[in-house]
A and B are shown apart, each in its own frame.
Chain A
Amino acid sequence: MVSAMSLDDLYQEILLDHARHPRRRGEIGEGEALADLENPVCGDHVRVRLRIEEGRVKDLLFDGKGCAISTASSSLLAEYAEGRTVAELRESIARFTAALRGEGSLDEFVDSDLRALEGVKEFPMRIKCATLAWHALAQALDHAENKPAGTETNS
């Protein structure tokens, strides 16, 4: 017997809103993506595009197909990350993924709705859904930094 669970903890109102109306979402062609990741469990898929200008992330865009959790997570992340420095984002990615693993909490993201993802912790099978966009952003940052300025879009 398994105890009652609350779907409302997982799918908070804010998340459902982001899932239905994802921010910073647009079509990214295969050649334009700086990262292209799949969730092997379900085949969900996310692409990232961005530029780095004076050490800050600009024109961040996500594309892909995913469940409500992964779509909302990428939308919240996109809002959060735009304009922040690469160094700061790397730290945030580490903190976010650790928090979902149960090491720490999302309270540190004080003025972001990202805290609405806290409930995912109680659903181990969905943690990958929530972290997919974050891993993709980490990869995109690596790629962007390893390319000379102006060639990020890989034309």
Chain B
Amino acid sequence: MKTNVCCSFDSARALDIARGETPAPRSDFPALAQRVHDHPLVYLDNAATSQRPQSVVRAECEYYGSCNANVHRALHFLAGEATERYEAARRRVAEFIGAPDPREVIFTSGTTAGVNLVAAGWGRKFLQPGDALLLTEMEHHSNLVPWQRVARERGAELRFIPVTPDGALDLGAARRLLADGRVKLVALTWISNVLGTENPVSEIAALAHAAGALVFLDGAQGVPHRRTRVGELDCDFLAFSGHKALAPTGTGILWGRAALLEAMDPFLSGGDMIERVTLTEATWAELPHKFEAGTPHIAGVIALGAAVAYLERIGFDAITEHEAALNRRLNERLAEIPGLRVFGGAAPRIALVSFDVEGLHPHDLAQFLDSRGVAIRAGHLCAQPLLRKLGVNAVNRISPYIYNTAEEIDRAVAAVIEARKWFRL
């Protein structure tokens, strides 16, 4: 299923990053134009959350200013409009991720909600004592803690694919961990939010399926940066957050194969997700409503549709190319700084770099950068087990996106160099 919605941008011509060209026009993102602490803002914390283009903000406002009504309930005109736009966003997202059937697209509040939905709806129902879940050592807490809870509850075992010194998953170990056939589900991240490693998802999915296990893919960092085709990824579930991909906070998607979703129990229950209710019993609505209890974030969902449209218009070829160029520049410049160590290694990576500087705590470095208008992340990045393996408590992370320029990379690096001087290293 190919989507040719887009490409009003001239994606055939290579972007000239040296001349400050970006796949997304910076003027689309009003927040980027501000000054912070008397310096122009350099926003490089996109792995935490992206900025939002005007078209997305407008789509959200338009709902409140025009067809504001609840969905799927009333018969009046506004309710019909709201429902139509809400369902149009579902169809658009389905196309965006290559889902064969829009009913398989469940609106959630984000990746975390998606993981919890499957851990509860599938895990509680189907996991048996003695079964195993296979995770990886590089998971975000969101794709770890819900599995820990359901494993404990069901008496299932947790196993972990180790991370190699190159920052990759150890596929030989994955094979061995799957060999006894007890693993019922493999839950892994597409792209690491710490190392930037892009995991070989379809290869791992093939191993998992051959061993009789399902595959749950955390797409929080993958979907914003890579063209998503659930068929090619070969996963059974995919969760991601809207807010890392230009959409409003509090929006997200869980995609799952229809047969699996149908067999699962609902997660939240209440209004909208039922078919028939008596005082003592209820039956569940059809997909996708079975998993969308209560009034959803209607405005957010409509704006998520606009975000997806924006990304498609730019095109993932341009995004990938631009990010690769920024990544080269970033790594080259960082390599010139004494005492600076980049985490991860030769494994394929997106433009996301975690590092530390000898003698300079990440909090102090990030604070200094902030004083120069440069926004980066410092901390454990919600991946304490991985940081423990890397032997650190905290790291700095620079994560550019579709509107960042090479000049901004240079300014961030210059601020790191200045910080070393300021702290007298």
Q: Are A66 and B361 in contact (CB under 8 A)?
A: yes
Interface residues of B in 341-378 (CB under 8 A from A): 361-364, 367-368, 371, 378
Task: Identify 16 residue pairs between A and B in the complex whose beta-carbon atoms are under 8 Å apart, listed by A's number.
Answer: A1-B36, A2-B35, A2-B37, A7-B368, A7-B422, A20-B424, A42-B378, A42-B380, A43-B379, A43-B380, A43-B387, A44-B393, A45-B393, A65-B393, A126-B363, A126-B367
In angstroms, Cα B384 to Cα A68, docked, is 21
Mark each residue of chain A from 1 to 38: 1 if its CB lies under 8 Å from any CB of chain B, else 0: 11111010011000010001000000000000000000
User: Which single residue of chain A is at the shortest CB-CB distance from B361?
Assistant: A67
List, in ascending order, chain B residues with CB within 8 A of A11's CB: 364, 423
Whether B363 pairs with A129 at a CB distance below 8 angstroms is: yes
- CB pair A10–B363 under 8 Å, yes or no, is no
Whether B205 sits at the interface, judged by CB under 8 Å, is no
A61 at the interface (CB under 8 A from B): no
Grouping DSSP codes into helix (H, G, I), strand (E, B) and loop, the A interface class, with mixed when no group exceeds half, is mixed
Q: Give the complex CA separation of A24 and B388 in angstroms.
A: 26
Task: Flag if B423 contacts A68 (CB, 8 Å).
Answer: yes
Interface size of A by CB at 8 A reads 24
- Chain A residues near B (Cβ < 8 Å): 1-5, 7, 10-11, 16, 20, 41-45, 65-69, 71, 123, 126, 129
The reply on B34 being an interface residue by CB < 8 A is yes
Main secondary structure of the interface of B (DSSP, over half): mixed
Q: Which residues of A contact B37 (CB under 8 A)?
A: 2-5
A1 and B363 contact, Cβ closer than 8 Å, known pairs A42-B379, A43-B384, A45-B393:
no
B38 interface residue (CB < 8 Å to A): yes
Q: Are the CB atoms of B367 and A7 closer together than 8 Å?
A: yes
Report the minimum CB–CB distance from B80 to chain A (whole Å): 43
Compute how far the CA of A117 lies from the CA of B361 in the bound complex, rounded to whole angstroms: 18
How far does the alpha carbon of A50 sit from the alpha carbon of B261 in the complex, in Å? 57
Partner of A5, one of B371, B378, B380: B371
One of B371, B384, B394 near A44 (C-beta < 8 A): B394
